[in-house]
Amino acid sequence: MFSRMLLWKRSVLRHGMTAAAVFVVGSILLPQPTVAQAPPPRATAPKTSQAPAKPKLVVLLVVDQMRGDYVDKFLPQWTGGLKRLVEEGAWFRDAAYPYAATETCVGHATISTGAFPATHGMVANAWWDRKEQKMVTCTADPDPNVKNIGYAGATPKGADTAWRMGVPSFAEELKFQTSGATRIVSFSLKARAAITMAGHKADAAIWFDGGSWVTSSAYGMQPFMEEQAKSHPAKADFGKTWALSLPASAYWYGEKTLGAVPPEGWDLIFPHSLRGKTGVGEPDSAFYEQWASSPYADTALTELAMKAVDALSLGKAAGTDFLAIGYSPVDYVGHEFGPRSREIQDILISLDKDLGNLFAHLDQKVGRGNYVVALSADHGVVPIPEDMQTTGADAGLLHLPELQERIEKVLEAFKYRKPTIARINGSDIYFAPGVYENLQHDRAAMQSVLDTALSQPGVAAVYRAEELRDRPARQSPTLRAFANSYFPGRSGDLFILPKPYWLLDGTPLGKPRSYGTGHGVPYNYDQHVPVLLMGFGIQPGQYFQPITPADIAPTFAALCGITLSSRDGHVLAEALKKPGEARSPSQSPRPKSSPASAPRTSP
Ligand SMILES: [Zn+2]
C-alpha cells in the first residue's frame, strides 16, 4: 500500500522588528530611504519619476500546511513578519481551495499557475500511472537527459522537473513576456514545492534531499548556493535544542496531544533535542527528520533566500525578479503533532521572526514599497482523530487497506479475477486494467462495489470518474470539489469522500501508524488557508469575500502587466491600489522621523 498520507514522511527520509511601522500609501510612489541607500534629494526628485511602474521583485511565500485559523488564533503573539503582513498588507480571511486534492504539489502548482488541478494536471503528490502500472511522483521526469545534481559534493538520486505541470507558472510567464529580464529563484525542503513554484525553467530551484541541498540539471547550479551549502550545512544544527519560545502559560494546548507521533528520537513534550536516533554521535536520517520538523530549517530557508537576494542582486536589475520560499517545517510538525499542539504554535512564533528578518533585508536591499509579497499555504490539516474524539465529535480512521480487501471480496463473488484494484492512493481508487471499463457495463457489480464502500466506517460518499468529467456546474459542493481536481488519465476511477474529521489512513494491516494526522479532502479544515498580500500596489485591509489561492498569480500578473494562460483564478482587484489613488495629495510620504525609516534591528 502506497499511501498518499505517508509521502510527506518518506520524502524527508529519502530526500532526505517589531511591526511598529505603519503602512503609508505614499511609500509606493516614493520608496523610503533605508540604511543602505542615501535618501533621494526631495526637492529635485519629482514624486512620479521615482515611482517604479512595476514591482522590482515579486516574493511568494508558501507555508506548507498553514491553516487559515492560525492567523486568527496566534496573531497576538507575533511581532515580526507575520504580524507585519497582517498590519501592513491585505488579509483575505475567507480564502479556500475549491477542490478535493488538498495536497502539497497540487497547492503549490495552483498558487504558482493561477489554475486549478483540472487545468494544470498536478492532481496529487504522486498518482498511479496506468500506462506504466506504477506510482509516479508529480515531479518525476523520465527524460534520460535530466538528472538531479547536488551542492557541496552531494550526489542525489532521481530526476525532478515541472514537465508534468501542464501550464507555465506566473514566474515563467513573467520571464517570457518581458524579454527574459526576470530572474527566477525558489527554495523549499521539498522538490514538489520548489519546482512547482518556479516552473519549467528557472535560474535556481533548490530543495533538500537526504541532508543536502540539491537541484535538477533542468535548472543548473548557482555559485552562491555552493558557497552557502558548504559554509552553512544543515548538520551544523546537530546538537541544538528546540525549546519553547514563550512561558508555558502562553500556549493554547496541553503539553501532549493525544495520538501524536513525533519523529524518531523525540518524545511528546518540549524541549526537542536535534541529536538523531540515539541522542549522541553523528547526524543520521533521524536527525534530518528532526531538523526538517524544527524552526532551524525555516531559518535556513530564510537565510538562503537572503543570500540569493544579495548574490544575484534580486530586485535591482532591469526587470521584475521572482523569489519563492516554500516553508516546509510547519507541515512536518503538523503531521506529527497535529494542529492543536504547542509545536505548531511555537514554530509559527519562530517563522514570524524569520519573516521579520526577511522583510527587513528586502527593505534594505530592494527598498520598502518596491517589492510585493504574497503569503499563503498549500492546504490545511485535520486534527488528529484520537484528539478530535475527545470533543465527542464523530471522528476516526478510514482504513483504506480494509476497504481494498472488502472490494476485492465483493468482486470475487462477481467472478472478477484478483487483484481488481491496482492501487488506492488517498481518495482515489485505481482499478486494474480493464476492470473499471467492465464495471461500467456491469450494473450489479458496480452497485455492489459502491454499496460496499459506503458501508465502510467513515465513508460519506463515493463518486465515479464519469460524474466528475467536464466539471459539472450544478452539483453538490463536494462533487464539484472532486471535479475541480479531476484530470483524465491521472485521477482515479472511484473517489472516496470521508465523513468530516475522518482521516484517510493507508497504514498496512497490523502496522502502527507512522504519523499523527493528514490532509487531502474537500473539507474546510484542509481547504481554508491564509492569503496575505503586502507591498507594491497593495491596498491594506481585511477582506472577507471568498477567494481562492489561485487568485494570487493573476493578481501578481495584473501588477506586472502580463497575461496568464488560465482564467481559473481572478485578480484580487479589491486589494489593488488604483492608478489615481496612490497619487492622492492627502497621502503624503512618511515623515523621516517615523520609526519605520529608522535602521531596523533583527527582532
Ligand atoms: Zn503540503
What distance in angstroms lies between residue 584's CA and the mean position of ligand 1's atoms?
42
State percent of the chain over pLDDT 70.
86
Q: Within a 10 A sphere around the Cβ of 386, how many other Cβ atoms? A: 19
Q: Greatest CA separation found in the chain? A: 88
pLDDT recorded at residue 211:
95
Distances, alpha carbon 95 to alpha carbons 318, 373, 376, 394, in Å? 34, 16, 9, 26
Q: How far is the CA of 122 from the centre of ligand 1 (A)?
A: 13
List the alpha helices (DSSP H) in 390-463: 400-413, 435-440, 443-454
- CA 103 to centroid of ligand 1, rounded, Å: 5
Whole-number pLDDT of residue 399: 96
Q: How confident is the model at residue 580 (pLDDT cuts 50, 70, 90)?
A: low
Q: What CA–CA distance (Å, rounded) separates 358 from 369?
A: 14
From the CA of 36, how far away is ligand 1's center (Å)?
37
| Mean pLDDT, range 284-297, rounded to an integer | 97
- pLDDT score of 596: 33
Task: Find all residues with CB under 8 Å of 78, minimum gap 6, and list them.
Answer: 348, 349, 352
Q: Quote the pTM value.
A: 0.88
CA-closest candidate to residue 461, choices 380, 392, 398: 398
> How are beta strands 57-63 and 371-376 bridged, if at all?
parallel
Nearest to 81 by CA among 462, 361, 420: 361
Please write the tens of the pLDDT for every residue from 152-197: 999 999 999 999 999 999 999 999 999 889 999 999 999 999 999 9
Confidence of residue 581 (pLDDT cuts 50, 70, 90): low
User: Do the Cβ atoms of 527 and 106 come closer than 8 Å?
Assistant: no
Q: Are the C-beta atoms of residues 337 and 260 closer than 8 Å to each other?
A: yes
Distance 398 CA to ligand 1 centre (A): 21
Residue 364 CA to ligand 1 centre (angstroms): 31
- pLDDT at residue number 499: 97
**Å from CA of 31 to ligand 1 middle:** 35
Residue pair 519/382 in contact (Cβ under 8 Å)? The answer is yes
Residue partners of 35: CB distance under 8 A and separation at least 6: 364, 599, 600
CA of 270 to the centre of ligand 1 (A): 24
Q: What is the pLDDT of residue 15?
A: 38
Question: What are the pLDDT digits (tens) for 22-62?
Answer: 333 333 333 333 333 333 333 333 344 455 599 999 999 99
pLDDT score for 43: 34
Nearest one of 92, 68, 116 to 374, comparing CA atoms: 92
Q: What is the pLDDT of residue 50?
A: 53
User: How far, in Å, is the centroid of ligand 1 from the Cα of 106?
Assistant: 9
- C-alpha 528 – ligand 1 centre gap (Å): 13
Q: Ligand 1 center to residue 437 CA distance, Å? A: 33
Q: What mean pLDDT comes out for the span 568-597?
A: 61
How remote is the CA of residue 501 from the centroid of ligand 1, in Å? 18
* 201-215, 453-467, 486-500, 587-601: least confident range: 587-601
pLDDT in tens, 231-254: 999 999 999 999 999 999 999 999
CA distance 314 to 203: 12
| Cα dihedral 335, 336, 340, 344 in deg (nearest 10) | -90
Q: Which pLDDT score is estimated for 278?
A: 78
pLDDT given for residue 19 in this prediction: 32
Place of cell 552557502: 228
- Per the CB < 8 A criterion, the answer to whether 64 and 104 are in contact is yes
pLDDT digits (tens, 9 = 90+) for 302-334: 999 999 999 999 999 989 999 999 999 999 999
**Separation of 450 CA from ligand 1 center, angstroms?**
30
Output the pLDDT for position 498.
97
- Looking at the predicted structure, is the pLDDT value of residue 480 above 80? yes
Chain centroid, CA 145 distance in Å: 29
Q: Give the separation between CA 110 and CA 572, rounded to whole angstroms.
A: 15
Is the pLDDT at 270 greater than 80? The verdict is yes
CA atoms within 13 A on the CB side of 169: 33
In this prediction, residue 524 carries a pLDDT of 97
CA of 124 to the centre of ligand 1 (A): 10
pLDDT in tens, 386-443: 999 999 999 999 999 999 999 999 999 999 999 999 999 999 999 999 999 999 999 9
Question: Which residues is 150 bridged to in the sheet?
Answer: 214
Class of residue 441 by CB neighbours under 10 A (exposed 0-12, middle 13-18, buried 19+): exposed
User: The C-alpha cell of 363 is what?
Assistant: 527593505
Is the pLDDT at 446 greater than 60? The verdict is: yes
Q: What does the mean pLDDT of the chain come to?
A: 89
Distance CA 79, CA 17 (A): 7
Indicate whether 523 pLDDT > 50. Answer: yes
Compute, in angstroms, the gap from residue 44 CA to the centroid of ligand 1.
50
Percent of the chain with pLDDT strictly greater than 90: 82
Ligand 1: centre distance to CA 100 (Å): 14
Could you give the CA distance from residue 454 to residue 467 in angstroms, rounded to a whole number?
17
Task: Indicate the range of 15-24, 323-332, 464-473, 578-587 predicted with least confidence.
Answer: 15-24
pLDDT at 95: 98
Quote the pLDDT of residue 196. 98
Bigger pLDDT: 7 vs 135: 135
| pLDDT in the model for residue 48 | 44
